[in-house]
């Protein structure tokens, strides 16, 4: 008998999330925009091509090294727009606040959102605030939705990765997840980690100036690069091969993952992107990325192959090859 | 000393909500779009004039006579777009679900959202699902954001009510609030009430066909018509005078309000609108409204006056006049 309850796994961004969306959500809202299953929907209004995206933020704790729920909510939605090649323009913000929440904490979060919006050159143009009784929500949740404009005729989508494409990661993996988890669990790391939460719209803009052959972009948030690569392998009907030794990762993240029994491939990032780029343009794109404050450690970590369609394989440090499956289970609830 | 905690009142839609927005939110996000304080932000992208709106839905119980949290979330955001004269096009949906939530209930809500979207001719094009541990959220909250297009050069805003305008309500007041509250409190009403939750975009479209002199529209949700009229009096720097005996209200709503000690002027509606219309066009507009399924009981309930700017006065049944202030306190938490 099938379990008829929602589990934490269903929100983990991995296999259970994808199954829930495929089996429960998509049969109801079946339309070509949603069916693309990209970070944003893209459609035309008049002559303008727009991207539209939404995300709710439930991160716990709400303040963590390198950010807070407010800046995360601004950058997260900006990044989802940027992953379609859109220039983010306008955001909405919806708060659900627990009765008794400290007003100074709210002010601190709002101030951080303002700074994040200014830094990313977007405007918060509309909002909503609900307050619920004590115990009906854990402190404060934020939804942001955003609208961006796609100003060229590019078509960047998780469906468009091409065999031969190189796979680039913009920097080290796992920083956000480990920073939040360390704060939550009170772990004392020798070198304290900070979340990488950051706006990637300017980085994407510069990449697109360097090349018109960027086929797919994704920010590997919930579920980490393991899940994002699997999504693109499935969406584009291609195989992806990555090389473990090329993946940038901080020693502290490796150490914390060993301590906690986590696989860094599945740990959330909030200021990184994966890019699928035509091999002829890969050096031009890498140069641009490395000159940007959020792409300094950009690396080619793999390639798109004709084998094992819909799957991701990793050549390990010791030379073996293993299949990297989509995340099963939710190893880190409420990480974003 | 000022109380430095968020209270239920801050989410009630009335005075405390407005003060929180004015004192805490607006200083951070100061831009002309947000400062309009309308149901949607309106801006141009390319040559298209767009409306953009967001709302989170936390109604308790999630199923109530005449609707559920799903249809409410679709109609609520559609109506916020329609109140700027926009044709709603695309919606985003963000779910925050409590671990252990019944999958059949989720399916029922999704099915209701699908029907609501189809009925209103909008597409749900993007979404997000978070699951949080048991006790971190009460069952399920939904955010919807929406984009609409304004296809003519109309400028409908709460700022544009004109002295001399007639104030129209599209039907009976208080149905939604009393239906939800009765369900929540297990009240046995002699004639069970249903929520009026409904999409008003077609009604608005027909009103705009009848007249290009509709100056302001608002759907009196949280805080009821008392609060909405006050908002428009302040935004437009005008006085508003309404006549108690002209306000359509069901006997059962009057009875329930007496029983519960509620003022129906402050009880939420989810399928009604207030329109501020040039007096020369008022009959044309009323005729159109009364021919629509959601405007059958439309009535003129008042007028915009040069006196008592920023205030709402009501001529009572017995002929006296009283000031109708903005709602203070939250008489009905989690009504939408």
> What ipTM describes this predicted complex?
0.97
Q: Along the 336 residues of chain A, how does pLDDT read in single tens digits? A: 466 899 999 988 889 999 999 999 999 998 999 988 898 999 999 899 999 999 999 999 999 999 999 999 999 999 999 999 999 999 999 999 999 999 999 999 999 999 999 999 999 999 999 999 999 999 999 999 999 999 999 999 999 999 999 999 999 999 999 999 999 988 887 888 999 999 999 999 999 999 999 999 999 999 999 999 999 999 999 999 999 999 999 999 999 999 889 999 999 999 999 999 999 999 999 999 999 999 999 999 999 999 999 999 999 999 999 999 998 876 788 999
Nearest CA in chain A to B56: A94
Confidence of residue B269 (pLDDT cuts 50, 70, 90): very high
CA–CA dist B313, A18 (Å, integer):
55
- Closest Cα in chain B, distance from residue A318 (Å): 37
Give the full edge-to-edge strand order of the sheet including B274-277: B214-218, B274-277, B166-169, B299-305, B239-243, B312-315, B321-324
Residues B107 and B211 in one domain: no
Residues B140 and B243 in one domain: no
At residue B129, does pLDDT exceed 90?
yes
| pLDDT tens digit sequence for A53-76 | 999 999 999 999 999 999 999 999
CA–CA dist B62, B96 (Å, integer):
13
Confidence of residue B190 (pLDDT cuts 50, 70, 90): confident
Query: Apex CA B133: angle with CA A113 and CA B184, to 5°?
Result: 90
In a domain? residue B334: no
Q: What is the mean pLDDT of residues B317-336?
A: 89
Helix (H, G, I), strand (E, B) or coil at A335: coil
Element (H, E) at B228: helix B224-236
Residues B55 and B90 in one domain: yes
Contacts of A33 in chain B (CB under 8 A): 90, 123, 125-126
Contact B142/A at CB under 8 A: no
| pLDDT tens digit sequence for B80-122 | 999 999 999 999 999 999 999 999 999 999 999 999 999 999 9
Residues in A 253-282 with any Cβ partner in B closer than 8 A: none
CA–CA dist A289, A293 (Å, integer):
8
Residues B180 and B143 in one domain: no
CA–CA dist B189, A197 (Å, integer):
53
- Closest Cα in chain A, distance from residue B207 (Å): 24
CA–CA dist B308, B305 (Å, integer):
8
Residue that is last in its domain, among A123, A150, A177: A150
Rounded to two decimals, what is the model's pTM? 0.97
The larger pLDDT score, comparing residue B121 to residue B259, is at B121
Residues B20 and B84 in one domain: yes
The predicted pLDDT at position B329 comes to: 76
The predicted pLDDT at position A2 comes to: 60
Place of tokens 């933020």: A57
DSSP assignment, residue B152? S
Pair of tokens at residue B33? 């779009």
Residues A76 and A30 in one domain: yes
CA–CA dist B19, B97 (Å, integer):
30
CA–CA dist B295, B219 (Å, integer):
13
| Sequence-distant (≥ 6) Cβ neighbours of residue B58 within 8 angstroms | A96, A130, A132, A136, A137, B138, B141, B334, B336
The predicted pLDDT at position B2 comes to: 60
Residues B308 and B172 in one domain: yes
Of B54, B58, B94, the CB nearest to A55: B94
Place of tokens 């094992």: A308
Residues A143 and A260 in one domain: no
Q: No. of H helices and E strands in chain B?
A: 9, 14
Residues B121 and B223 in one domain: no
Q: How many Cβ pairs within 8 Å bridge chains A and B?
A: 278
In a domain? residue A3: no
CA–CA dist A216, A207 (Å, integer):
12
- Closest Cα in chain A, distance from residue B230 (Å): 18
Pair of tokens at residue B22? 């004015």
CA–CA dist A173, A250 (Å, integer):
8
Interstrand relation of A321-324 and B123-132 (parallel, antiparallel or unpaired): unpaired
Of A28, A31, A111, the CB nearest to B125: A31
Label each residue of A219-257 as H, E or C: CCCCCHHHHHHHHHHHHHCCEEEEEHHHCCCCHHHHHHH
Q: What is the mean pLDDT of residues B150-172?
A: 97
Element (H, E) at A276: strand A274-277
In a domain? residue B329: no
Contacts of B147 in chain A (CB under 8 A): 45, 50, 52, 147
Place of tokens 């006050």: B230
CA–CA dist B21, B234 (Å, integer):
15
Quickly list DSSP for A149-161: EE-SS----TT--
What is the span of the domain harbouring residue A285?
166-324
Measured in degrees and rounded to the nearest 5, phi and psi for residue B282 equal -65, -35
Please report, for the domain that includes residue B12, its CATH number.
Answer: 3.30.1330.10
CB contact under 8 A, B46 and A43: no
In a domain? residue A155: no
In a domain? residue B3: no
Residue that is last in its domain, among B120, B150, B180: B150
CB contact under 8 A, B29 and A114: yes
Q: Which residues pair with A334 in a beta bridge?
A: none
With contact defined as beta carbons under 8 Å apart, do A231 and A240 qualify? no
CA–CA dist A112, A151 (Å, integer):
29
The predicted pLDDT at position B3 comes to: 63
Task: Looking at B242-321, list the stretches that DSSP marks H as alpha helix, in order from N- to C-terminal side.
Answer: 251-260, 282-291
- Closest Cα in chain B, distance from residue A97 (Å): 8
The predicted pLDDT at position A37 comes to: 87
In a domain? residue B335: no
CA–CA dist B110, A24 (Å, integer):
8
Please report, for the domain that includes residue A253, its CATH number.
Answer: 3.90.650.10
Place of tokens 């978070």: B130
Residues A146 and A267 in one domain: no
Q: No. of H helices and E strands in chain A?
A: 9, 14
| pLDDT tens digit sequence for B13-56 | 889 999 999 999 999 998 999 888 898 999 999 899 999 999 99
Contacts of B40 in chain A (CB under 8 A): 126
Residues A177 and A30 in one domain: no
CA–CA dist B4, A42 (Å, integer):
42
Residues A15 and A97 in one domain: yes
- Closest Cα in chain A, distance from residue B305 (Å): 29
CB contact under 8 A, B131 and A12: yes
Pair of tokens at residue B301? 């309930």
Helix (H, G, I), strand (E, B) or coil at B272: coil
Nearest to B271 by CA among B116, B157, B40: B116
CA–CA dist A229, A314 (Å, integer):
11
CA–CA dist A62, A59 (Å, integer):
6
Other C-beta atoms lying within 10 Å of the C-beta of residue A318: 7
Confidence of residue B187 (pLDDT cuts 50, 70, 90): confident
Contact A139/B at CB under 8 A: no
Interstrand relation of B123-132 and B87-98 (parallel, antiparallel or unpaired): parallel
Q: Is the dihedral of CA B191, B300, B321, B10 positive or negative?
A: positive
The predicted pLDDT at position A3 comes to: 64
In a domain? residue A335: no
Q: Please tell me the number of Cα atoms within 13 Å of B285 on its side-chain side.
A: 29
Other C-beta atoms lying within 10 Å of the C-beta of residue A144: 32
Q: How many domains does chain B have?
A: 2
Contact A107/B at CB under 8 A: yes
- Closest Cα in chain A, distance from residue B183 (Å): 18
Residues in A 302-331 with any Cβ partner in B closer than 8 A: 330
Contact A204/B at CB under 8 A: no
With contact defined as beta carbons under 8 Å apart, do B225 and B268 qualify? no
Query: Apex CA A126: angle with CA A118 and CA B232, to 5°?
Result: 135
CA–CA dist A276, A304 (Å, integer):
8
In a domain? residue B299: yes
Mutate which of B59, B74, B128 to disrupt the A interface (most A C-beta within 10 Å)?
A: B128
Other C-beta atoms lying within 10 Å of the C-beta of residue A317: 9
With contact defined as beta carbons under 8 Å apart, do A305 and A167 qualify? no
DSSP assignment, residue A111? H
Element (H, E) at A53: strand A48-57
Nearest to B214 by CA among B306, B84, B305, B120: B84
| Sequence-distant (≥ 6) Cβ neighbours of residue B321 within 8 angstroms | B313, B314, B315
Residue that is last in its domain, among A150, A183, A205: A150
Element (H, E) at A56: strand A48-57
Label each residue of A292-327 as H, E or C: CCCCCCCEEEEEEECCCCCCEEEECCCCCEEEECCC
Give the full edge-to-edge strand order of the sheet including B140-150: B41-45, B48-57, B140-150, B87-98, B123-132
Helix (H, G, I), strand (E, B) or coil at B252: helix
CB contact under 8 A, A125 and B11: no
CB contact under 8 A, A34 and B124: yes
Label each residue of B157-168 as H, E or C: CCCCCCCCCEEE
């Amino acid at each position: 008998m099938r379990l008829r309850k929602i589990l934490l796994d269903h929100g983990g961004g991995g296999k259970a999330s994808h199954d829930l969306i495929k089996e429960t959500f998509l049969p109801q809202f079946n339309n070509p925009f949603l069916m693309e299953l990209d970070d944003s929907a893209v459609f035309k209004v008049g002559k303008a091509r727009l991207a539209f995206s939404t995300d709710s933020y439930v991160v716990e704790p709400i303040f963590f090294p390198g950010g807070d729920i407010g800046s995360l909510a601004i950058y997260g939605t900006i990044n989802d727009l940027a992953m379609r090649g859109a220039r983010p323009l306008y955001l909405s913000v919806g708060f659900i606040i627990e009765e008794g929440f400290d007003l100074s904490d709210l002010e601190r979060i709002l101030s951080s959102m303002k700074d994040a919006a200014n830094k990313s050159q977007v405007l918060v143009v509309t909002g909503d605030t609900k307050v619920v009784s004590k115990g009906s929500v854990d402190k404060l949740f934020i939804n942001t939705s955003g609208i961006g404009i796609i100003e060229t005729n590019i078509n960047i989508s998780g469906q468009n990765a091409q065999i031969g494409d190189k796979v680039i990661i913009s920097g080290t993996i796992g920083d956000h997840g480990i920073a939040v988890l360390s704060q939550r669990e009170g772990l004392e790391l020798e070198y304290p980690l900070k979340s990488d939460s950051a706006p990637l719209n300017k980085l994407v803009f510069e990449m697109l100036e360097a090349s018109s052959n960027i086929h797919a972009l994704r920010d590997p948030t919930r579920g980490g690069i393991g899940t994002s690569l699997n999504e693109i392998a499935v969406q584009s009907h291609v195989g992806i091969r990555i090389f473990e030794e090329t993946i940038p990762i901080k020693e502290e993240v490796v150490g914390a993952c060993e301590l906690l029994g986590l696989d860094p491939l599945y740990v959330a990032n909030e200021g990184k992107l994966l890019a699928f780029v035509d091999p002829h343009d890969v050096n031009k794109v890498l140069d641009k990325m490395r000159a940007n404050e959020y792409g300094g450690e950009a690396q080619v970590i793999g390639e798109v192959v004709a084998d094992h369609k819909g799957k991701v394989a990793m050549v390990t440090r010791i030379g073996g090859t293993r299949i990297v499956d989509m995340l099963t289970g939710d190893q880190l609830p409420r990480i974003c």
